[in-house]
């Protein structure tokens, strides 16, 4: 259905995330992947969705003068927001262990922002999901890090992996958003784009 609406456009996903790529396939969107190395640095005063909005737009700005008239670019960024601070991707295993220890037994917010950009316009939107973890033991954290190596994931975990099955007590909001792309909002925005 969406493909009919966007058939005269080439959709470009600027993400190396296999999870985001899979979502676009499941939405039956024909797309190509174009990647650019972006240093994900944002001003210190930004909070919560201001951070992800900024980074999604920053990623899109890297393609500024390269888009053709029929191309539509999709960029996105996800963070975990806990105790009034952002948890992005871990720098190493020790950092990942610290993050998961901090999240143990608490509720955190997963925020994903998406930027849709063409030569004519740009739309930025975000989604938030609350995720509650049960208490995690050190053994469980170490097992997860050793076996799943979630070092490319915001907050050092993937909800679709082992940890999601054993630790998540409650989720309020979009599951897809926690995986890394609020597909229900993306679908609607692309239909209107």
Identify the sign of the CA torsion 21, 27, 30, 36: negative
Please list the active-site residues. 77
Distance CA(128)–CA(123), nearest Å, equals 17
Secondary structure (DSSP) of 168-185: EEEEES-HHHHHT--HHH
Residues in a beta bridge with 170: 132
Beta-carbon contacts of residue 48 (< 8 Å; ≥ 6 apart): 81, 86, 109, 111
Beta-carbon contacts of residue 188 (< 8 Å; ≥ 6 apart): none
């Amino acid at each position: 259905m969406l493909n009919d609406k966007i058939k005269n456009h080439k959709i470009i996903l600027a993400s190396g995330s296999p999870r985001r790529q899979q979502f676009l396939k499941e939405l039956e969107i024909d797309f190509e992947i174009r990647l650019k190395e972006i240093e994900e640095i944002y001003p210190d005063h930004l909070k919560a969705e201001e951070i992800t909005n900024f980074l999604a737009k920053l990623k899109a700005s890297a393609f500024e003068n390269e888009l053709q008239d029929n191309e539509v670019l999709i960029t996105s960024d996800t963070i975990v927001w806990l105790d009034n601070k952002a948890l992005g991707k871990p720098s190493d295993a020790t950092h990942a262990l610290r993050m998961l220890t901090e999240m143990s037994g608490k509720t955190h917010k997963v925020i994903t922002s998406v930027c849709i950009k063409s030569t004519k316009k740009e739309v930025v939107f975000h989604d938030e999901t609350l995720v509650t973890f049960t208490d995690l033991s050190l053994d469980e954290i170490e097992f997860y890090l050793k076996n799943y190596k979630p070092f490319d994931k915001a907050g050092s975990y993937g909800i679709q992996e082992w940890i999601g099955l054993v630790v998540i007590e409650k989720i309020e909001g979009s599951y897809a958003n926690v995986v890394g792309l609020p597909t229900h909002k993306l679908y609607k925005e692309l239909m209107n784009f």
